[in-house]
């Protein structure tokens, strides 16, 4: 979106200009992805020097508000670190295959757990982690081949990723990330002043050669999703995890962050690249997708130094994750009904994903989605395809937010798409693909 003609970017000095842009972002007049004027244009309009505007853009970039988008110039970040009222909304009647949420029908009913959970008053200064939660989590990680002597509890996968990175990295450090990958991670890096370094992915996870190349350029950390990779749907198998481990063994100082955000409902077995055997590592298991996003809690296994730093930093901030929440997760994980419920959820998501992939294949459309909620469909024209699908009543996401250098695509979340509807969607996508180029010409 070009906002060249809009005049609410004002000010005579760098501070005022930056504040007016931040206000524009906050008040949604500069929505995510919108393009700012070029340095020269804005300098001419405000009658300030180009150096001043360049300094403003640099400062906003350092704070994660905007990003340099190559030939596109400077654009507002997709998730700028300031509260905005901007929300993607679909017109009534449009099927939302964009949100990436779990199906509420497949989440546990919390009624019984809320009645059963008993927590004595917890006061300041008491231990941060529920010992039973730590024990259950350790057992689960151990069962999956991850030796986690040191373990802590955080507020979800993204909280874990941020805290692990913060434990070791400083502004300007480079981080290897999946491409395409989760925009939440890209936005987080921007906010922390860290520099993403793309690693190609295929159906079996990050590509070892591409990872080796990124590591060769000097990165301090590698963030990956071992399964339910968002948006590509890739998942490690044993062989790929081993290949990546051997590549990483050449760089023992690199922090490896494994974001297992989907956990048991990913539909594929857990494989860990680090297995708890590196100098700096964390494996993060969130319950957001399996038990519900509002229970946003994750357990983090890691090396002694990283976990101690995470806990020390947390102590001066939020202190701990509510023990009510921790006990709730212990209760749900210990409930005899939970394993069958999680298996059913994993099976249902896999069926929905599989039905969509089959229907697309029936129309000659190649797509990816081995694990998790999402299917990634390479297309020649992202915006045109998204717009044509919207006309047909389907809301999906353009791949742009997920990509650094990888090819164009759309992301379709199959989490709530019944197999019976998959064929209709595939037919509409096939029609959209035949008309999309014309629409954006």
Under the rule (CB under 6 A), what is the footprint of ligand PLP? 100, 156-158, 182, 184, 225, 230, 259, 261, 286, 288, 293, 296, 298
Burial per residue of 214-250, b for 16 or more beta-carbon CB atoms within 10 angstroms, e otherwise: bbeeebbbbbbbbbbbbbbbbbbbeebbebbbebbee
For ligand PLP, the closer CB: 138 or 296: 296
Q: What are phi and psi of 150, to 5 degrees?
A: -115, 130
| Residue 105 CB-density burial (10 A; 0-12 exposed, 13-18 middle, 19+ buried) | exposed
For ligand PLP, the closer CB: 173 or 259: 259
For 390, half-sphere exposure in the C-beta direction (CA atoms, 13 angstrom radius) is 18
Cβ 433 to ligand PLP shortest distance, Å: 26
Cβ 184 to ligand PLP shortest distance, Å: 6
Place of tokens 């694990």: 371
For ligand PLP, the closer CB: 79 or 381: 79
For 339, half-sphere exposure in the C-beta direction (CA atoms, 13 angstrom radius) is 3
For ligand PLP, the closer CB: 182 or 271: 182
- CB count, 10 Å around CB of 132? 15
Q: Which residues pair with 206 in a beta bridge?
A: 201
For ligand PLP, the closer CB: 157 or 194: 157
- Contact predicate 153/299, CB 8 Å: yes
For ligand PLP, the closer CB: 18 or 223: 223
Cβ 229 to ligand PLP shortest distance, Å: 7
For ligand PLP, the closer CB: 270 or 384: 270
For ligand PLP, the closer CB: 220 or 288: 288
For ligand PLP, the closer CB: 25 or 295: 295
Cβ 179 to ligand PLP shortest distance, Å: 13
For ligand PLP, the closer CB: 265 or 298: 298
Cβ 223 to ligand PLP shortest distance, Å: 9
Cα gap 242→411, rounded to integer Å:
28
| Sheet containing 205-206, strands listed edge to edge, beginning at the edge strand earlier in sequence | 150-154, 298-302, 281-286, 255-260, 221-224, 174-179, 195-202, 205-206
Cα gap 238→19, rounded to integer Å:
50
């Amino acid at each position: 979106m070009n906002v060249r003609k809009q005049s609410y970017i004002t000010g005579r000095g760098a501070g005022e200009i930056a504040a007016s842009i931040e206000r524009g972002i906050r008040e949604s007049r500069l929505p995510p992805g919108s393009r700012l004027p070029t340095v020269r244009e804005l300098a001419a309009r405000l009658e300030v020097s180009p150096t001043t505007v360049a300094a403003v853009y640099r400062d906003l970039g350092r704070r994660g508000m905007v990003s340099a988008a190559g030939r596109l110039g400077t654009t507002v970040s997709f998730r700028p670190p300031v509260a905005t009222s901007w929300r993607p909304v679909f017109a009534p009647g449009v099927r939302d295959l964009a949100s990436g949420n779990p199906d509420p029908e497949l989440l546990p009913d919390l009624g019984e757990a809320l009645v059963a959970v008993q927590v004595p008053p917890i006061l300041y200064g008491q231990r941060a982690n529920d010992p039973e939660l730590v024990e259950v989590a350790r057992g689960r990680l151990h069962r999956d081949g991850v030796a986690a002597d040191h373990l802590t509890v955080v507020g979800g996968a993204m909280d874990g990723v941020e805290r692990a990175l913060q434990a070791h990295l400083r502004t300007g450090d480079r981080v290897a990330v999946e491409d395409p990958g989760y925009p939440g991670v890209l936005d987080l890096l921007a906010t922390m002043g860290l520099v993403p370094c793309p690693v190609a992915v295929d159906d079996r996870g990050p590509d070892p050669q591409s990872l080796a190349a990124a590591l060769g350029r000097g990165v301090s950390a590698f963030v990956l999703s071992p399964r339910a990779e968002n948006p590509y749907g890739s998942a490690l198998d044993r062989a790929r995890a081993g290949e990546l481990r051997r590549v990483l063994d050449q760089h023992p100082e690199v922090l490896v962050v494994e974001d297992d955000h989907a956990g048991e409902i990913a539909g594929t077995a857990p494989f860990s690249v680090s297995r708890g055997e590196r100098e700096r590592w964390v494996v993060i298991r969130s319950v957001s997708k399996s038990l519900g996003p509002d229970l946003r809690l994750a357990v983090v296994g890691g090396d002694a130094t990283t976990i101690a730093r995470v806990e020390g930093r947390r102590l001066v901030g939020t202190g701990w994750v509510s023990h009510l929440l921790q006990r709730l997760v212990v209760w749900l994980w210990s409930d005899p009904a939970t394993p069958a419920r999680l298996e059913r959820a994993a099976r249902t998501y896999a069926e929905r994903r599989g039905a969509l992939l089959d229907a697309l294949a029936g129309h000659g459309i190649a797509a990816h989605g081995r694990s998790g909620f999402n299917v990634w469909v390479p297309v020649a024209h992202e915006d045109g395809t998204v717009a044509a699908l919207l006309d047909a009543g389907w809301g999906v996401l353009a791949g742009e937010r997920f990509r650094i250098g990888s090819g164009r695509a759309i992301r379709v979340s199959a989490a709530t798409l019944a197999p019976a509807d998959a064929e209709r969607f595939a037919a509409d996508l096939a029609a959209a693909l035949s008309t999309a180029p014309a629409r954006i010409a």
